[in-house]
Structure 1
Amino acid sequence: MPLKITVIGTGYLGATHAAAMAELGFEVLGLDIVPEKVEMLGRGEMPLYEPGLEELLRQHVAGLPGSSGRLRFTTSWEEAGAFGDVHFVCVNTPQKHGEYACDMSYVDSAVESLAPHLTRPTLVVGKSTVPVGSAARLAKRLAELAPAGEEAELAWNPEFLREGFAVQDTLRPDRLVVGVASERAESLLREVYAAPLAEGTPWVVTDYPTAELVKTAANSFLATKISFINAMAEICEAADGDVVKLAEAIGYDERIGKKFLRAGVGFGGGCLPKDLRAFMARAGELGADQALTFLREIDSINMRRRGHMVELAREAVGGGFLGKRVAVLGATFKPDSDDVRDSPALNVAGQIHLQGGQVTVYDPKGMENARRVFPTLGYAPTALDAVRGADVVLHLTEWREFRELDPATLGEVVTHRRILDGRNALDPELWRKAGWTYRALGRPRA
């Protein structure tokens, strides 16, 4: 009999995983405790934007025309327990309010709610990003609460999704890491991932702690690389160097590589910042905090870039924001997403607004979420409307739409042709030819 799969939590990670598992041919039941979300997904609609995900969902949700019917959603723990052979836990692990540490309450609640309904041999697979040591604790709790006892096993299978590429990363991952305590658990996961394994995806089998550490280590390395090039941008500005050329030159070294070397206003989103901080907090609890003290500076460099962009904008408009109109192109933390969590773009916009600037924001996909976070900012339906009457334009999220803007057309509606490229993604020559004063982080003024 083919395995039946449940996915606990249907947010960004869970909805993607559920749709991908159905695409791989499994019968899938997604569980969420929010009835409105379950109803929405049952209609084949996504509560968030991710390229290709809603289309994939519609191909498999039961009851939709032309769908495979392999994917359903429920709010019933009892139904999920009875249905699944393998249960993937995909709930959120946000940063605790006022602390660096990770909030494990959603993961703990998922295990506590599911376990009493596990009456036969089953595998519960954690995909959420958790502090190292969590899996061992949860495995013990699972065996205590499940009627199946120790035959209700736990494995840890960290996710490595990139927003904007989540469907691709789930169906064709660049590696699969599984932390297991038995050969049976590994065998079941090999069955789940048979398709990508057949295509040559690397398979890494570890213990629980190593599997938990892989995700936080990967995110910490990426954050370090981003903050490194942003630190070089600070030096380049002081020395009148060009960080873009510097990044190009060091990127040819295959030991370094070109990816994540674009200087700008730094990283944000729901993963890197909170994972970095949770990693530091957990290292402190383990008595190994000195090993990660460098991550504090990584975090500090990242946050400093936002303040620096505000300073550059203030300088561009003559030293003060009062009575000045500032256009912000971008609200999401990265392109091809509607996610505004810890967004550098919105943070900069908010700071300028609080200092008296009249800020108007435009983003291709993140407007609704941005309004919920910063309702007092101005919002425009197009980039052209956003820059109308602006004293300075800030480019803060590297959407393709912004790279394709015509500087001459925008120049006709602004008050002053000044642009600050916070992502080093625009063509300086093109903008300067159209009469704009162009400035970017870590690059010469002209």
Structure 2
Amino acid sequence: MTELRPTESISRRMTVFGTGYLGATHAACMAELGHEVLGVDVDPSKLAMLEAGEVPFYEPGLEEVLRRNIAAGRLRFTSSYEEAAEFADIHFLGVGTPQKKGEFAADMRFVDSVVDSLAPLLTRPAVIFGKSTVPVGTAERLGVRARELSPAGQDVEVAWNPEFLREGFAVKDTLHPDRLVLGVDRNRPGRAESVAREVYGKILDEGTPFVVTDLATSELVKASANAFLATKISFINAISEVCEASGADVTVLADAIGHDERIGRKFLNAGIGFGGGCLPKDIRAFMARAGELGADQALTFLREVDNINMRRRTRMVELAREACGSLLGARVAVLGAAFKPDSDDVRDSPALNVAGQIQLQGAAVSVYDPKAMGNSRSLFPTLTYSANTEEACAGADVVLILTEWAEFRKLLPSDLDDIVRKKVVIDGRNCLEPAIWRDAGWTYRGLGRP
């Protein structure tokens, strides 16, 4: 468990608006740093869970941090904007920016709503730090809006402090980040940087790089980081298509090029592609915003990044059909539903998308995931859900590994030999050792592997 020891650094009062994945994590971790934190949300059920010390989603280590700081009196929650404005002069904005329905652009309603509701209540000098992933230009626009609405007028600052959380490592990434980025209004020098240095004092004392830039650059840092990571994943998946056509092995290829320090091995794992609540919608919003700015040609390559990613899901369905001859009446075991291991997030999950496509083609699909069963049922209620791996694989004509949870990586042929109807496994994450399964009499297929 990541825990910081108390130091003499300054303790401040602050609020965090939005108690979803980003907001709840940030609120708990700011309290862990020794600050007094008030989490604000309009969802009564979410607030009730958090007040009871329960996290509404799965994130390793977060519940312990939450409970410890509630017990210490450093963290509490409210739905009252009036209470929040009175409580603190430092406000973090961590609400969602989902993709607009029927469009690529980000839906900014929730971000705008926080500023429209909070700013009229700010009667003292205040700093609003945005953490949500937003289109470039948002921070400047919100700053103008906040100063127009607030009785404090010109004494209200909006700065941008993007998050770089990895699901499954969010506590570590908040308390011990690889960098902190802060965008400030260069035309309006104020207190934002000095306040941020106080808030993150313990983290900066560890030597964490602190990049201070203008507002637009800070917004583009997060968008660019996600676009690069998505591109890297789609690149290796495009190469895996060539590997399949030529008989090459994409995993060995990735190891070989990953030794080049200019390239690196991380995010070069071929498979069924990326999903979740960030990369897919963020690269689409980035493209949409570039178009609004008249720079649409600069990011047209991201359309192919998105296309490659979606194509890998289709390829997985094709492999399942080939393995069964026909999916009509076939029994298919799907191991994994979350978009990545150590998470219960099923937003735009490749695993669930594949499972749904296979079911639509007439197969009986049984799904098991260690943590994402509840969310999966809500999103895909027509699929069959199993209590464990053995139940999901009982009588299966093919077993699909779609999320690389540790318990799936550790599977051995002997675990399933007497359970399945046909010994066929398709490794959508290339996380099994092919020789072990083939030597045991199984038909093994991996993406981009001979």
Q: TM-score, normalised by structure 1?
A: 0.97
**Residue 144 of structure 1 aligns to a residue in which SS?**
helix
Q: Deviations over 1:272-321 (max 9, x none)?
A: 00000000000000000000000000000000000000000000001x11
Which residue identity does 1:164 align to in structure 2? G
Aligned residue pairs total 438
The whole-number CA distance in structure 1 between the counterparts of 2:323 and 2:48 is 49
Specify which of 365, 384, 389 is matched with residue 383 of structure 1. Answer: 389
Q: 1:53 aligns to what?
A: 62
CA shift, 1:35, in A, is: 1.2
1:337 has 2:343 as partner: yes
The whole-number CA distance in structure 1 between the counterparts of 2:415 and 2:125 is 65
Which residue identity does 1:378 align to in structure 2? T
1:187 has 2:194 as partner: yes
Identical counterparts, % of pairs: 69
Q: Deviations over 1:97-150 (max 9, x none)?
A: 010000000000010111111110110010000000111100000001111111
Q: Deviations over 1:74-117 (max 9, x none)?
A: 00000000111210000000000010000000000010111111
Q: 1:11 aligns to what?
A: 20
**Residue 191 of structure 2 aligns to a residue in which SS?**
helix
Specify which of 223, 240, 249 is matched with residue 242 of structure 1. Answer: 249
Query: Any residues of structure 2 matched to 1:27-426 within 5 Å, and which?
Result: 27-61=36-70, 67-181=71-185, 182-318=189-325, 320-426=326-432
**Residue 59 of structure 1 aligns to a residue in which SS?**
helix
Q: TM-score, normalised by structure 2?
A: 0.97
CA shift, 1:183, in A, is: 4.5
Which residue identity does 2:276 align to in structure 1? G
Aligned 8 A contact 1:231 1:301 in 2: yes
Q: Deviations over 1:168-195 (max 9, x none)?
A: 0000000000001224110000101111
Which residue identity does 1:193 align to in structure 2? Y
Q: Deviations over 1:242-300 (max 9, x none)?
A: 00010000000000000000100000000000000000000000000000000000000
Q: 2:446 aligns to what?
A: 440
Which residue identity does 2:179 align to in structure 1? R
CA shift, 1:406, in A, is: 2.6
Which residue identity does 1:101 align to in structure 2? A
CA shift, 1:409, in A, is: 2.1
Consecutive unaligned residues in structure 2, runs of 5 or more: 1-9
Q: 1:64 aligns to what?
A: none
**Residue 337 of structure 2 aligns to a residue in which SS?**
coil
The whole-number CA distance in structure 1 between the counterparts of 2:436 and 2:252 is 18
Aligned 8 A contact 2:127 2:191 in 1: no
Which residue identity does 2:14 align to in structure 1? I
Which residue identity does 2:304 align to in structure 1? E
The whole-number CA distance in structure 2 between the counterparts of 1:52 and 1:184 is 33
Q: Deviations over 1:35-86 (max 9, x none)?
A: 111111011011100000011100011xxxxx21100000000000011121
The whole-number CA distance in structure 2 between the counterparts of 1:293 and 1:114 is 37
The whole-number CA distance in structure 1 between the counterparts of 2:377 and 2:439 is 35
**Residue 419 of structure 2 aligns to a residue in which SS?**
coil
Q: Deviations over 1:145-166 (max 9, x none)?
A: 1111111111000000000000
**Residue 295 of structure 1 aligns to a residue in which SS?**
helix
CA shift, 1:2, in A, is: 3.6
Which residue identity does 2:123 align to in structure 1? T
Which residue identity does 2:66 align to in structure 1? L
CA RMSD of aligned residues (A): 0.8
Aligned 8 A contact 2:157 2:190 in 1: no
Which residue identity does 1:309 align to in structure 2? M
**Residue 69 of structure 2 aligns to a residue in which SS?**
coil
Which residue identity does 2:164 align to in structure 1? F
**Residue 132 of structure 2 aligns to a residue in which SS?**
coil
Which residue identity does 1:32 align to in structure 2? D
Which residue identity does 1:329 align to in structure 2? L
The whole-number CA distance in structure 2 between the counterparts of 1:102 and 1:7 is 21
CA shift, 1:197, in A, is: 0.5
Consecutive unaligned residues in structure 1, runs of 5 or more: 62-66
Aligned 8 A contact 1:3 1:85 in 2: no
